Each structure stands twice: as C-alpha cells, then as structure tokens.
Amino acid sequence: MTTNDTTDGAVSGENLDKLSTNLRKVDELTKRLTQVLTHRSTHNAALDGPNQELFTKAATAYWTETLRDPAKVLEHQLQFWSRSVTHFVEAQKTLASGKLAAPANPGPKDRRFANALWDTHPYFNYVKQQYLINADAISQAIDDVTDMDSQEKQRLAFFSRQIVDMMSPTNFLATNPDALEKAVATEGQSLVQGLENLISDLEANNGELIVKLADESAFELGGNIATTPGKVIYRNRMMELIQYTPTTETVHRTPVVLFPPWINKFYILDLKQQNSLVKWIVDQGYTLFVVSWVNPDAAYAGVGMEDYIEDGYLAAIREAKAITGEKQVNAIGYCIAGTTLTLTLSLLKQRGDKSIKSATFFTALTDFSDQGEFAPFLTDDFIDGIEAECADKGILPSVIMARTFTFLRSNDLVYTPAIKSYMMGETPPAFDLLYWNGDGANLPAKMAMQYLRGLCQRNELADGGFDLMGHTLRISDVSVPVCAIACETDHIAPWKDSYRGVQQMGSKDKTFIMTQSGHIAGIVNPPSRNKYGHYTHEDLNLEYEDWAAEATFTEGSWWPRWGEWLKKRGGKQIPAREPGDSSHPVLCDAPGTYVAVKAKP
C-alpha cells in the first residue's frame, strides 16, 4: 500500500475528490442511522446477555483461586505479560529495520485473517497477534476458574467468547485491511453502500440489528424455491395441509404425513429440485402430505402445545386418512416437530388410537437432560427475560430466536457477513439456504414457555412425564416402529442426546442413523451429491460412545437406507392419488399462503 506513485494504487487528486464526496454521503447517512436507532423498537434487556450476577460470581471465583493458588494465577499472568512484551519488542525491531518484511513467525492461521497483509505488514500483523494473545489469556483465565458451578462456568465461557469474537480487529474499519483497500479502490463508495446496507437492515427490523444473509430479491416462493407441484387441500387456524402431485403411476397404500418445525418454514425440505426431500419422497411412490404452519402474531398469544397437536398433528392425520381412505399414516417429525410427534404418539397410545403406523424423527430431542450449546440460554435469567418479552408482545419474535441461533456461530453468521455487507458494501449472496434461514417465524407466547420451561428446563417428557391435554405424556409410550436420523455435528440437537431419547422409547422396532454434517446439511443430503455418509448399528442398548465406536460407516446419503425402511411399512402399490377429493377441494397451489407470511419485527 504505497502513497507516492499513482500507478501503484495511490489516491490521485481526482480520486481524492470522489473520496471526499462519498465521505460527505456517509455523514448524511449517519443522520439517517441516528433516526432509525432513536425510534428503534425495544425488547427485554435480559435477552441481551447474562445478568451481573454471573460476572460477580466469576470475579469471586477467580479471586478465590488467586488466594488458594497464587503461584498458578501469577504464572499465567506473567506468561501473558511476557508474550505481550516480547511481541511488542519484535514488532519494534521490524519497524526499526525499515523493511516491511513478513515477521519470522506470522502467528497461527485463522480464516478471519486471510488477507496476506495480516502476515506481511508489521502493523496488521502486530494487531492480529496481540488480539490472539489476548484471546488466549481470557480463555486461560476462564479455564483456571474452579470454584464455580459447571453450568455457570459454561455460560461464562460462552459469553466471554462472544466478547472475544466481537473484539476481533477484523470487525473494525481501521484494523481491517480488506475494508480499507476496498474503500480506497472505490473512492469510499464501499463505505457508502455498506452504511446503506446497515440502515436497510435496521429499518427492516425496527432497529434490531439482524444481518441480512441472502439477497431476498433473488428468490420467489413457488417460483425458484419450494417448487414441487402440489395443492393445499385443507386449512385451519394453525396450518395448511399440502398434498403433493404424484410423479409415479402407482404409490404405496399408506400415506406419509410430514411435520416440519414451526420455528422455521417447511421449504427447507423443498429448496430446489436437486436437493428437495419433498420431491424425492414423492418420486419414491408415496402420497405425501406436508404441514405448512401459520406464522403467528399477537392474536395467537394463548396458543399452546396442545393446539399444535389438536389442530396440527391430529387434524393433518385425520384429513390425510379421510382423503386416502386409509386407517393409518407414516409420520415424520423434524426438530421441535419431532419432539411434538413424540407427545402425539404418547397421547394416541393412551387413547388407544392406532392412526400412526410408524414414526420417523429428523434431529429430534426428547431427552433434554444435556442442554449442550443451548445451556447458556436456558438459565432462569434468560428464560425470565423471554417470558417477559412474550407477556409484552404475545409472541416470542422470530428476531430473538434468530439472534440466539446465529450467535451460536457468531463468526460465520454474524461478523463475517456483517463485515462484507457493512464495511465492504457487498450485496448479500443469492443463496437459497441463507434466504430460508432469514425467513423466520414467531412463536406463540404460551407455546414458547411450555416448551422452554417444561421440556427444555425441567425435562419433563423424559423425567416423570409432561402434563398436557388431560394426560401425562411419556417417551416410553412410543411403541410404533421408529427410525431416527441424527446429525454428527448438530449443535442444535446433538446426536448423542437424540440417541438417548430413542433409547427410552418403548418401541421394539427401533432404527438409529447418524449422518455426517449438521442440523440442516445432514438432513438435506440428496443421494445425487454423494457428499455426506452415515453410520448405523443395530444395538441401541450401547452407550452412545460405544455405539459410535462400533457403528458401520456407509458412503453417501442416508435417504435410500431410510427409503428401504419406509418401503417395508408403506403397504402394497395402488393407483396414484391426485390431490384432494370432493370433500377436500383444492384451495390453492403449493407452497400455499401461510408460508408467504413474513414475521413482523
């Protein structure tokens, strides 16, 4: 980055004028930004982070550790001081040499610091290495804390990591070489566009900063995503029921009813033809029904889990049976819909209702005794904040959930896209998965608290039973044939916790498949991609570590294996069924109307 030769990228007089003009635009946009923030909507402060009690306990525990073992604490402090001073001296030597040569040891690799200047330029390399030294020191300090409850320590580690990630030099214009280079190359236009992007995101969410991850203008529901042909043949206050158009001359007699999670929208399973599980199931010769949940507003404040079961699960099963003339269906539940499918199966068992022939669970938790990475968000102070937010708004707004999920992967889903959008002025990519990720849904207040208090916090389904609809619902009541698919690197529904829940089910016929990758990519894994393999083992009495150690690995998608499992429970072949009947007229084309309703911040 030289400044004495315009042919080497220096700023000419003309370019300087353009830069000055753009910087004046930045000043004008700043006023607009102030206006947005002045009128921003508010939410309960408890949702922004842990209360001071956590940090007070951490400070007390650290002080106790210092008194108990001062040598250990001083050793770590001296290591930090030594590394910092040594780093400063080495940087001074490099500068004194008058050469902008790469340091002998540029430091560890980190994809945030991909620009060559982080290694070759003394200023940027100094900033990077000192940041990494500071991050290591904070991590070590937390590791040193022993006189603290394990859950509180896990929470302290999580929020400390959030602070460390937030303070990365890549997140600030003055210490981000990519952003600085682009600002010069575009005469400041990238900064103007970045500020426009920031203000647009704030305005779209009433002042809440939710980074837009995808170019929304690039997608149209029913146009280039969610395009599998089908018809909405039933609608009530909770859901639209889609029956998909057959692609085979004959189909299995027993229909399939798929329940997606209502935290997000169903079309994650129908993004495009190449990776659509919906299309794949239809192509295997099944009459497929998919529930598309309503996106609730404040009018749904009193809607609970019982309403999702009564007007969702039981209604969809009833209508699917009526249309097909069958007595049973094969049911699928994904994520929270799998948890609720377990509740439904227990309810039907206690009622003596055999409407469900088999159950498939995608990344579903039924035993919440190990809360995994969500533990920091399931303590009373945070849940109390959610309860107050629900009481105020009648819903748990989708932006709150989106923020929680994204900060589990803050570098990938918050800071990196924010840098590209706000500092580099780039348009978000036309990426269907990220578009879906940003198309969230609200949760009714009552349902959200039933789920968070009763299932997540108190683990009632696995520990004594979950009281609902006049019954005490238990995992052990599940007695139909079960196939569960969990994902190896799932941070939302860890596979070992899913496995533990399946172990407690009362079914004599149980299959467990662990696929590679995470909560979404592990499920949306078509055979044509041949990307992720899967693990199987028949003995589900093993502890999860032993199951994994002894499991057989198979290359490729789990879809065909599950397809063979489902085929055995699908019944004989009959002529294909067109959507609807005389009692179920077609209401509209798939993907329907409920899916198109955006969550209002």
Catalytically active residues, by annotation: 335
Q: At what angle do helices 122-144 and 150-166 cross, to 10 degrees?
A: 170
Q: Determine phi and psi for 288, rounding to 5 degrees.
A: -110, 130
> Which two three-digit tokens encode residue 86?
């040594």
The span from the CA of 156 to the CA of 150, in Å, is: 10
Q: Is 362 helix (H, G, I), strand (E, B) or coil?
A: strand
How many Cβ atoms from other residues are within 10 Å of residue 117's Cβ? 19
Angle subtended at Cα 257 by Cα 578 and Cα 570, rounded to the nearest 5 degrees = 80
> Which two three-digit tokens encode residue 502?
């399946």
End-to-end Cα distance, the chain: 43
Long-range contacts of 61-65, Cβ-Cβ distance < 8 Å, separation of 24 or more: 61/145, 61/146, 61/147, 61/148, 62/141, 62/144, 62/145, 64/147, 65/144, 65/145, 65/146, 65/147
Task: Report whether 498 contacts 364 (CB < 8 A).
Answer: yes
How many Cβ atoms from other residues are within 10 Å of residue 546's Cβ? 12
Indicate the residue type of 107: G
Task: Give Cα 282 distance to the centre of its chain.
Answer: 27
